Chain A
Amino acid sequence: MKDVKSQARSAAPGKPGGLNAEIQSRIGHQLRAMYDDVVRQGVPDRFSELIRKLDTPPGSPQVGSTGGGTNDGRE
């Protein structure tokens, strides 16, 4: 395993705040961009159907099969 601390020190000599602050801001953006890209996809049918099915009161007739419907169009 590499010693990342010594690398970080050698890369930002005498600039504890400057370079580091820029990089941290950049990392924060990348992290949120990755995450929000998925959030924006909303709720796939697979999950809304799952919740709806489970909400069916016990004893009432189940519509269709319970095992299917997980493919929701994904190739």
Chain B
Amino acid sequence: MPLTDALRDDILASVPSLRAFAISLSGNADRADDLVQETLLRALANIDSFQPGSNLPAWLFTILRNLFRSDYRKRRREVEDAEGNYAKTLKTQPSQGAHLEFEEFRAALDKLPQDQREALILVGASGFSYEDAAAICGCAVGTIKSRVNRARSKLAALLYVEGAEDFGPDETVRAVIGGNG
């Protein structure tokens, strides 16, 4: 369809979540914004192939995801400083404890296989249905479900199980929950 004002507004409205997706995937704020820019340029160049009434965010996320994956293959050896760079994007500096916890979470997320990480983000943070996430990733719904489950198990193991050896599981849970209050 042609680029109408309404469609342009809808694309702009998707930018915040596209950035969040890109940063979650890449762990690097500058690279994420470059990905978003390239996504927008590609979307606008191919706007004729967008079906009116279909899911615009899913269409844009698909473009970004595919760009990231082709880019990732080229750059996988260059990825450094992901955590430090990401922390700079935060509007408010979290407290020391929260910051440490955040960095640990970010680091654990980066350790997931890419398939699992993107599935978890799409379903658990972007709020896409399993069906939409499967369409974005070009795989079966059951595959997305199993990737999300494996991602969750692995994050739990990385974040909470190693520490549990020090305290025992109940202590860990209390510390985790009490750490909020």
> B residues within 8 A CB of A63?
none
Could you tell me if A11 and B169 are in contact, using CB atoms closer than 8 angstroms? yes
Interface membership of B120, Cβ < 8 A? yes
Q: How far is the CA of A35 from the CA of B155 in the complex (A)?
A: 16
Majority secondary structure, B binding face: helix
Is there contact, CB below 8 Å, between A4 and B20?
no
Q: How many angstroms from the CA of A55 to the CA of B91 in the assembled complex? A: 30
Chain B residues with CB under 8 Å of A40's CB are 16, 91
Q: Count chain A residues whose beta carbon lies closer than 8 angstroms to a beta carbon of B.
A: 39
Closest to B9 in A: A51
Chain B residues 11-56 with CB under 8 Å of chain A are 11-12, 15-17, 19-21, 23-24, 33, 36-37, 40-41, 44
In chain A, what residue has the closest Cβ to B11?
A51
**Chain B: which residue is nearest A35 at the CB level?**
B125
Residues of chain A within 8 A of B11, CB atoms compared: 51
Q: Using a CB–CB distance below 8 Å, which chain A residues touch chain B?
A: 4-5, 7-8, 10-12, 15, 19-20, 22-24, 26-28, 30-44, 46-48, 50-51, 54-55, 70
